Structure 1
Amino acid sequence: LPALLFADKDICNSVSHGCEQVCVNTEDSYICKCHEEFILKEDGKTCRYKDVCNSADHGCEHICVNTDDSYICKCHEDFILREDGKTCRNKDLCKSIDHGCEHVCINNNNSYSCQCHEGFVLRQDGKTCRYKDVCKSVVHGCEHICVNNDDSYICKCQEGYVLQEDQKACRRCTEGPLDLVFVIDGSKSLGEDNFEIVKQFVSGILDSLEISPKAARVGLLQYSTEVRTEFTLRQFSSAKDMKKAVLQMKYMGRGSMTGLALKQMFERSFTEAEGARPFSANVPRISIVFTDGRAQDEVSEWAARAKQNGIIIYAIGIGKAIEEELLEIASEPSYKHLFYAEDFTAMEDISEELRAQICEALKMSAHQQDPASGRLRKTGPQPSGPESTTIAITDVIACPNLAVHHKYLFEDSHTHSTATASKDKDQCKCENLVTFQNYATNEVRKLTQRYIL
């Protein structure tokens, strides 16, 4: 009976059918259907697009693939899907990103690393490359030795040579500009035979130098009871003439006034009047002092003055030479500037070692460093002798009434001091540079003890 009652009725319009799109009557019921391009979902009522990928803004970079009522993104061959599920990257990561590798990019699972071509190494940034051996990869121009220095290079010289101003060419240590004054003991204790050995020693040193007005200038003093200038720095411009003068030196053969000789060396031998170059030229000033016994006068004052004025002193003692005097004469450190032997048979060895030490001093000068003697750096031309000397004290040293970081004017006792100089001397209790250094050393020692203890 119910079937007959509903036979001619439109059930879709008489009930809440729930069809999303189309309701279709059947004999005694209804079914839901969908519009074209849609398909019915499993609930039998709602619809979905047959092709979701074409119906929605799926965002797939490469390929959209329908899955029931949704979709998934896929990538073309040789690509893989990124974590966002939409975009793709090359399976070869190096090709898919701006890796920044200068030479070669190597894939490493989900990452990469940079490598360099043969003959190169990776820099610390992990991307750029440099030559393993820069010296072999460029025309470096080094005359002797090229040394790799990170991604650049520096030139160095073989032993016995120093680098010239162009930082490429080399010259012998003793080819450089140098003002050298020998101070030779001609006392009676030496003897004429040994005096001849000393002359040979001087000639040997001269053979290792390039003697010329622009290179090495050499002067020589002989001392005994008095001091005699055998030749000045300006007198000879060739080794031949100089060696001839050495050969013709007459042995004085009397007392041993070493202090007097040091005084003349300091006051006269290194003056421009006798051929020394001005301080502004930065030419090393070296004195080689030879003695065979105890001095008959005081050596410490004039040795100290010479060293404080920038003269490097090498002391050579033979036989009865007194170690204490040699230490007073020689520059610091003594192991580089003091030579002693029991007799004259060692003169050749001393000559060789002395040439090596002079070479080292010239290397330091070439690099504009202060010599190992610890002397103070001068601020400009400084006259030797009785003229006042300006020294730049760069260390800050505690004086009673002021911190010393200034230029002090020290004058010899026989010159007239300026008011400022006298005031500074009183404040620091300094009458000359030697006293000042001693005072400063004591003050530093006191401060050290105070803060340590």
Structure 2
Amino acid sequence: MKEILSEPAVASCVQRPVDVVFMLDGSERMGLEDHRRAKEFIEKVASKLTLASGQTDNRNARFALLQYGSPTEQRVEFALTHNLTVIYDALSKVNYMDSSSALGSAIIHAVNNLVIPRGDRLVRRNAELAFVFITDGITASEQLDEGVSAMRRAEGVPTVIAMGSDTDEEVLRKVSLGDMSAIFRGVDYSVLNNPSFFERFIRWIC
């Protein structure tokens, strides 16, 4: 019954074009087990949403993933793609950085390498550019304002997944552009497997 009830919310997303850039915290605060849970969540979201039929399809969803650590550690795990096999294969090869956290530098790197590399915008025309941050907000302050500004200029729409109680609320507010409803919270990363949490996220991202 729960699956049937959730179908209309998911179905409403089918024709709507959205390019989703996941920003995965690879800092030591994340921890290997929570990092694994976050990867499983990304895979589950990709398998749930209807993906575009090709790179030129102006409907449905595409995904990209950037893992970030220190200011010099930003790793594009995969660029915007509609190919579920590419997403699965790339996720299986993502290694946990176990580094520090420089979110501002990571946003700038994502915009310059995933969204507008060499000045050419890769986000599809009329598609929403969704940034999904998996972070507790505890990060270096350097370039954070510049990163948020870069996201604004790229017309990115942020969503923040912030698990646990030890979070930096000021950073979360800043990255969510002040929209507190865009911050998804839970006691820990096991919440990502909660069906109600998952369906709520799907409805939001759609």
Sort the TM-score into its range (normalised by shorter chain).
0.7 to 0.9
| 1:255 Cα deviation from its structure 2 partner | 0.7
Residue 8 of structure 2 aligns to a residue whose secondary structure is coil
- In the alignment, structure 1 residue 314 sits paired with structure 2 residue 159: yes
More strand by share: 1
After superposition, the Cα gap between the structure-2 partners of 1:331 and 1:351, relative to the gap in structure 1 and judged at 3 Å, is farther
Q: Is the 8 A contact 1:219 1:230 kept in 2?
A: yes
1:348 positional shift: 2.8
Tell me the equivalent position of 2:76: 229
1:347 Cα deviation from its structure 2 partner: 1.6
2:138 aligned to which of 294, 304, 308:
294
Q: Choose which of 183, 195, 199 in structure 1 pairs with 2:23.
A: 183
1:328 aligns with 2:174: yes
Summarize deviations over 1:202-224 as a string: whole Å, max 9, x none.
Answer: 11111122223223221110001
Partner of 2:129: 285
TM-score of the superposition, structure 2-length normalised? 0.81
- How does 1:176-255 map onto structure 2 within 5 Å? 176-212=16-52, 213=55, 214=57, 215-225=60-70, 226-233=73-80, 236-255=81-100
Determine the C-alpha separation between the residues in 1 that align with 2:174 and 2:27. Answer: 20
* 1:351 paired to 2:198: yes
User: Where does structure 1 differ by over 6 angstroms across 4 or more consecutive aligned residues?
Assistant: 272-275
Aligned mates of 1:346, 1:267 — CA distance in 2: 32
Provide closer, same or farther for how the CA distance between residues 275 and 246 of structure 1 changes in structure 2, counting only shifts above 3 A: farther
The alignment's TM-score, normalised by the length of structure 1, stands at 0.39
Q: Distance in 2 between matches of 1:247 and 1:175?
A: 28
Quote the Cα distance in structure 1 between the aligned partners of 2:121 and 2:14. 18
Count of aligned pairs:
188
Let me know the Cα RMSD of the aligned residues: 2.3
Q: CA deviation at 1:353?
A: 1.7
Q: What's 1:383 paired with?
A: none
Give runs of aligned pairs for residues 341-380 of structure 1, distance below 5 A: 341-349=186-194, 350-359=197-206
* Cα distance, 1:197 vs structure 2: 0.4
For 1:328, the aligned partner's letter is: K
Residue 3 of structure 2: aligned partner: none
Aligned to 1:258: 103
What is the CA–CA distance in structure 1 between the aligned matches of 2:106 and 2:117, rounded to whole Å? 18
Cα distance in structure 2, aligned partners of 1:275 and 1:208: 26
Ranges in structure 2 where 5+ consecutive residues have no aligned partner: 1-6
After TM superposition, the structure 1 = structure 2 runs for residues 83-122 of structure 1, keeping only pairs within 5 Å, are none
1:272–1:259 CA distance, 2 compared to 1 (3 A): closer
Query: Quick check: which one's helix share is greater?
Result: 2
The whole-number CA distance in structure 1 between the counterparts of 2:171 and 2:123 is 29
Shift of 1:174: 4.2
Counterpart of 1:296 in 2: which secondary structure? coil
Compute the displacement of 1:266 (Å): 2.3
Q: Is the 8 A contact 2:163 2:187 kept in 1?
A: yes
Structure with higher Rg: it is 1
Relative contact order: is structure 1 or structure 2 higher (C-alpha 8 Å, sep ≥ 6)? 2
Specify whether residues 160 and 328 from structure 1 end up closer, same or farther in structure 2 by C-alpha distance, changes over 3 A only: same
